[in-house]
Structure 1
Amino acid sequence: MTLYVEMFVFGALLGLPFLYETRPAFGYCLKFFLYSAVVMINSVILIPVFCFRAKSVKNLILASYFCRWITHMIGVKWELRNGERLVPQKSCIIVSNHQSTLDILGIFQIWPTMGKCSVIAKKAVFWVWPFGLAAWLAGLTFINKNKANEAKARINEAVEKVARENTKLWIFPEGTRRNTGEIHPFKKGAFHAAITAQLPVMPVVFSTYYFLDSPNKRFDQGTVIIEVLEPISTKGLSPDDVDDLAEKVRHKMSEALKRLNQETKSHFQPSDNLLI
């Protein structure tokens, strides 16, 4: 009986490469399974460590070293441009487009560069244990998007902490993940908070995941360009300027995304800035 089990397992393992090459849906599911599994395992490992300095955003830098190598397993490369704009340890609000759960893997690649930085995440993420617990211990701020006033208050608290502790705060102003190749309308919470605290807004743009097609369950190998745009000052702005600020940032990000997408579509050529 044992021999038959061993033969079955051996045959199944031999068949994996064939399924991976001939069944796109299998490769899609396998890559996301590996991604999720490694993140969950790392969460279990890191939770006891995070408890020694609970809620410190320095924990996120440590987490990035544990998780960033996953990208090799799933065949995604990342290129960071203008990363020097992230280096100064100064308070700012980082806003970026939100396309997939892969976004967090991209942030893992650049956390060591940008240093102390927290992230605003939806409250549902907290209940995805053990990852949610690890994220909370690492200093993430969770908001309930269905309760606008409560969410706004939580964002304002996070921004006050950022200004007080000289850290950065990462916000996805689109709110919902959409891998459509464009920047969608922004929610205004990040910009209200930035103006209230008089902190600069730093736009970060991820090129479209052209290699990822969730409706058709396709996940090929590919490269993502992460471009850091010029920070936009909020000095002297008032709450009346929120709409103009949000639209200004969105316009700059939209133009950058169009440019990056044209580049990635025309046979992307790796550069010296590749992070892996």
Structure 2
Amino acid sequence: MGVIRKVIAWLSVAVICLLALVLYVARPFNPDNNRLLARTIARFCRWILGMKRPLSGAENMPQDRPTVIIANHQQNDDLLIVGDLLPPRTVAVGKSDLLWVPFFGQVFWLGDNIILNRGRSQKAVATMRATSDAINKDRKSIWVFPEGTRSRGRGLGKFKKGAFHMAIAAGAPITMVCVADYHGTTHGWCGSRDAVPVRILPPVETAGLTIEDLPALMKTCHEQMAEAIAALAEPPGTA
């Protein structure tokens, strides 16, 4: 039954994206389209799946100033878990392969999201640095999976530098979204009623930092996220 619910949920994503094309064509490259679409997908699909998503630290997500949001990336189902956490005027960083996904790729492009070719790392970093202009001038927040790929149960991977270059260049805070490990468990199928807890950590300020501070910033964020993810895996009352 769980597999059936998952198939229905992902078919629903395609249908929702198809319907959302009307909004995206009417308001092309408006970043708030992304927030509305992601919220609709996440909440509707979690309802189909019967998935609970306990959330702590919601007050830590900035709503009135741009931020660089980093989150751990386990599998495609992450969209269903964290999609409704986007603050206003948020765009995401994604691989160019996403453009070929029917309906989703089209709304991703029309949402003014940042599209990277991971095979060209230097160009990718340059693109993300240039995105700092969008943060400051256009008041956009940026959502990034800093591991660059899905972990598939292997734990929090090594971070790539792009998101941190971007945050330092813009002087924007980094907000960390930590999702409990759900790969390989009963809710790895996203078809059970087990909860997938999420915690948003207080923003790490980057104002005044320079490129020399980048390694320490990455280390701090990685340590804080790894600690939070481990704590989310502990049974209630043991943390």
TM-score by shorter chain over 0.5 = yes
- Of residues 8, 12, 29, the one that matches 1:55 is 29
Which of the pair is proportionally richer in helix? 1
Alignment correspondent of 1:271 = none
How far 1:213 moved relative to its partner?
4.3
Deviates more, 1:89-98 or 1:157-166: 157-166
**Preserved contact between residue 181 and residue 261 of structure 1 (Cα < 8 Å):** no
Change (3 A) 1:46 1:265: farther
Q: TM-score, normalised by structure 2?
A: 0.90
Give, as a single letter, the amino acid of the residue that structure 2 aligns with 1:45: L
Look up the SS of the partner of 1:224 in the other structure. Answer: coil
Q: Distance in 1 between matches of 2:96 and 2:17?
A: 18
Which range moves more in the overlay, 93-102 or 73-82? 73-82
Match of 2:146 among 155, 173, 181: 173
| RMSD of equivalent CA atoms | 2.0
Work out which of the two has the higher radius of gyration on C-alpha atoms and give 1 or 2: 1
Which deviates more from structure 2 when the two are superposed, residues 40-49 or residues 249-258? 40-49
1:222 partner SS? coil
- Flag the 1:253–1:65 CA change in 2: closer, same or farther, 3 A: closer
Unaligned runs of 5+ in 1: 1-19, 21-26, 267-276
- Aligned-residue offset at 1:142: 1.2
Counterpart amino acid of residue 123 in structure 1: S
| Whole-Å separation in 2 of the counterparts to 1:87 and 1:195 | 17
2:224 is aligned, of 228, 252, 259, to 252
- In the TM superposition, what is the alpha-carbon distance from 1:236 to its structure 2 partner? 2.0
Q: Unaligned 5+ residue runs, structure 2? A: none
| Contact kept? 1:91, 1:166, Cα under 8 Å | yes
Q: Tell me the CA shift for residue 255 of structure 1.
A: 0.6
* Structure-2 residue corresponding to 1:222: 194
TM alignment of 1:29-44, pairs within 5 A: 30-44=4-18
User: Is 2:168 the partner of 1:195?
Assistant: yes
CA deviations 1:170-228 (Å, max 9, x no partner) are: 100011111326311111111111112211111110111143447xxx85332111211
Distance 1:207 1:254 in 2: 10
How far apart are residue 110 of structure 1 and its match? 2.1
State the TM-score, normalized to the length of structure 1: 0.79
Per-residue Cα deviation, 1:202-259 (whole angstroms, up to 9, x for no partner) = 1110111143447xxx853321112111111112211111111111100000111111
- Count matched residues: 235
Contact 1:117 1:168 in 2 (8 A): yes
Moved over 4 A (4+): none
